[in-house]
Amino acid sequence: DVKVTQSSRYLVKRTGEKVFLECVQDMDHENMFWYRQDPGLGLRLIYFSYDVKMKEKGDIPEGYSVSREKKERFSLILESASTNQTSMYLCASRVIQGIATNEKLFFGSGTQLSVL
């Protein structure tokens, strides 16, 4: 089975800190995604990566950046954490076999980030 691992389940940071959220997948998937999940808003796409060193902004990229130096690892960076970035962050990956739009995503268990 595909495994998507997020480094921390819970994280508490202070306003202004630089925060790194790490995600690793073990199935050689090309695509990787970062979402944030907030009550009443569902999942919103922050960034995604087609492949190594390739990235594209999602719907809410402000305040975030990403890094994908190796195929298995996709990092989300909060340059200067703010309280409105308190949220559940979910990483996902996907293999591409033909048409991307019909491929399912494999998710990690999420990182609940609290910014104080």
Partner 1 sequence: AQKVTQAQTEISVVEKEDVTLDCVYETRDTTYYLFWYKQPPSGELVFLIRRNSFDEQNEISGRYSWNFQKSTSSFNFTITASQVVDSAVYFCALSRGSSNTGKLIFGQGTTLQVKP
End-to-end CA distance of the chain: 37
Contact set with partner 1 (CB under 8 A):
4, 9, 31, 35, 40-45, 48, 50, 56, 58, 88, 90, 92, 94, 96, 99-110
> Which residue lies nearer to partner 1 by CB, 31 or 85?
31
Decide if 103 contacts 96 (C-beta within 8 A): yes
The least CB distance from residue 106 to partner 1, in Å, is 8
Count of beta carbons in the 10 Å neighbourhood of residue 87: 20
The least CB distance from residue 22 to partner 1, in Å, is 16
Torsion of CA 33, 37, 43, 45, to 10 degrees: -40
> Which residue lies nearer to partner 1 by CB, 14 or 101?
101
